[in-house]
Amino acid sequence: MAQACRLGLLLALLLPVVGASLPSTVVRLNKAMLSYVSEMGKAPLQRALQVTVPHFLDRSGVVLQPTRVQILNVQVLRLQLKFVDDFGVRLFAAANFTIKVFRVPEPLELVLPVVLLADARVDQGSIGTPVVSISSCFSLFNNAVVLDGGHSAAPALLARVQKHIKAVLRNKMCLSVSNLVQGLNVHLGTLIACGSESQIRYFMVNKPTITKDYISLDINAVLFLLGKPIVLPVNATRFTLPEHVGTNGAMATVGLSQDLFDSALLLLQKAGSLNMDITGELKSDDNLLTTSVLGQIIPEVARQFPEPMPVVLKVRLGGTPVATLHPNNATLQLQPLVEVLASASNSAFHSLFSLDVAVNLSLQLSVSKVKLQGTTSVLGEVKLTVASSNVGFIDTDQIQALVGNVFEKPLLDHLNALLGMGVALPNVVNLHYVTPEVFVHQGYVVISSGLFYLN
């Protein structure tokens, strides 16, 4: 599996070079996302700052006296993140360190207020995922407050203890933040989904665009069928997401190009997932798929099959379905070939006739966790024309009423089951879209959503 994942990633990175057209997606993370991350990040930052402090060497006496120092608790009072134009993110954190100095004859407890400032650059990694790196980091210390019971400490001793603790924290705090960021990069690397069930992989195509209001990632998608990428004809127009779309205050704004829908439908068509068989059952009282029912409107069927036999509709999609995106309106057009077969007495199937079918469907889009899902309903009338016949003349109007009734519901059930499985949106492990809204525009779809991280 690891080898297949590496091969898929290599294909994803090479495809743009050889001139293939890949579906484009834009993920825009807004200031509301930073507020959420700030709140969620307090606990991990507190744990990271719970560092080990080496013994303090007390030089006040004749002999050096090593004294154990321990951080009992770290409380991050405030964590603030903000975007920096064309750079990344600035971090501001205010924390209180509760520290115990195990001096003799009585221990000393104090609270040391600290302000931590760091700048993090956001860039494009070598494998097409976002990469964060700390470019600068420093800390500011206020005077420690001695807790009750420790007021007997000499001022000189207290000053030396504080100097020791500050020297340690000044180095270790920035290292802890850097380690946190490295862990974040590992997490961001899961944007390229390489699980066994993954049929779509995303990768960044250039450096992120960063303003004071958002960070925007231009992402290409590669859909795979049996390990091979689905490639569309070259399209010279690259998808761009307009500035003011979606819902104000949303954490994430995701723009999905027409190409993504075309690729997903092409994948379903090439995989044969849209093909289906609709089978009649003789024992069903309301079954219309029998030779006796067909024989009422096609005399040759009644002649060839004097005894009732079940009829099967084999639906095969030779052409790729077409999704059309207009403002507030998404439609899907299918043009399957339907072959009508009857079961003979020897269990073989005899082809009666075939129909070219044209179906227009309304497409409603929704998001569940990390997947874009769809449901369909028929728009207008299912149109049938006779493609070939082994039973002589067929009255199109009569066959329209019969086949249309038995064809429409199974088709919708089959399509909605497929579209209900969904296509994975850009995401990382444990991050879900919440309260999403879907907007259809001319040639693209926008998702405005909150985000929720599962610890």
Number of structural domains, the chain? 2
pTM: 0.86
Rounded CA gap, 401 and 382, in Å? 10
Rounded CA gap, 411 and 335, in Å? 12
52 lies in a domain?
yes
Residue 283 has what pLDDT? Answer: 60
Question: Given pLDDT bands bounded at 50, 70 and 90, which one contains residue 38?
Answer: very high
Tell whether 142 and 274 lie within a shared domain: no
**What would the pLDDT profile of 319-345 be if each residue is shown by its tens digit?**
889 999 999 999 999 999 999 999 877
26 lies in a domain?
no
CATH of the domain at 157: 3.15.10.10
251 lies in a domain?
yes
Average pLDDT over residues 291-315: 91
Residue 64 has what pLDDT? Answer: 61
Residue 19 has what pLDDT? Answer: 47
**What would the pLDDT profile of 436-446 be if each residue is shown by its tens digit?**
999 999 999 99
Last residue of a domain, one of 167, 190, 213: 190
201 lies in a domain?
no
Tell whether 156 and 45 lie within a shared domain: yes
For residue 261, is pLDDT > 70?
A: yes
Cβ-Cβ contacts under 8 Å for 77 (sequence gap 6 or more): 94, 95, 96
230 lies in a domain?
no
Tell whether 313 and 424 lie within a shared domain: yes
Q: Which tokens is 436 given?
A: 């999403």
**Is there a contact between 357 and 337 (Cβ–Cβ < 8 Å)?**
yes
Number of Cβ within 10 Å of residue 149's Cβ equals 10
**What would the pLDDT profile of 179-191 be if each residue is shown by its tens digit?**
999 999 998 888 7
Tell whether 312 and 428 lie within a shared domain: yes
Torsion of CA 83, 86, 87, 90, to 10 degrees: -20
Tell whether 247 and 374 lie within a shared domain: yes
179 lies in a domain?
yes
Last residue of a domain, one of 190, 210, 230: 190
Tell whether 175 and 247 lie within a shared domain: no
Torsion of CA 446, 452, 453, 455, to 10 degrees: -160
Tell whether 143 and 253 lie within a shared domain: no
CATH of the domain at 277: 3.15.20.10
Question: Given pLDDT bands bounded at 50, 70 and 90, which one contains residue 16?
Answer: low
Tell whether 175 and 71 lie within a shared domain: yes
Tell whether 275 and 375 lie within a shared domain: yes
Cβ-Cβ contacts under 8 Å for 171 (sequence gap 6 or more): none
Tell whether 253 and 341 lie within a shared domain: yes
For residue 195, is pLDDT > 50?
A: no
Tell whether 350 and 262 lie within a shared domain: yes
Question: Given pLDDT bands bounded at 50, 70 and 90, which one contains residue 225?
Answer: confident
Tell whether 312 and 398 lie within a shared domain: yes
196 lies in a domain?
no
Rounded CA gap, 65 and 322, in Å? 80
Question: 31-48 vs 155-188: helix axis angle to the nearest 10?
Answer: 130
Q: Does residue 299 have a cis peptide bond before it, meaning omega lies within 30 degrees of 0?
A: no
Last residue of a domain, one of 158, 190, 222: 190
Three-point CA angle 22, 321, 449, nearest 5°: 60
Cβ-Cβ contacts under 8 Å for 308 (sequence gap 6 or more): 282, 290, 291, 292
Average pLDDT over residues 388-410: 87
231 lies in a domain?
no
Q: Which structural domain range is residue 100 located in? A: 31-190
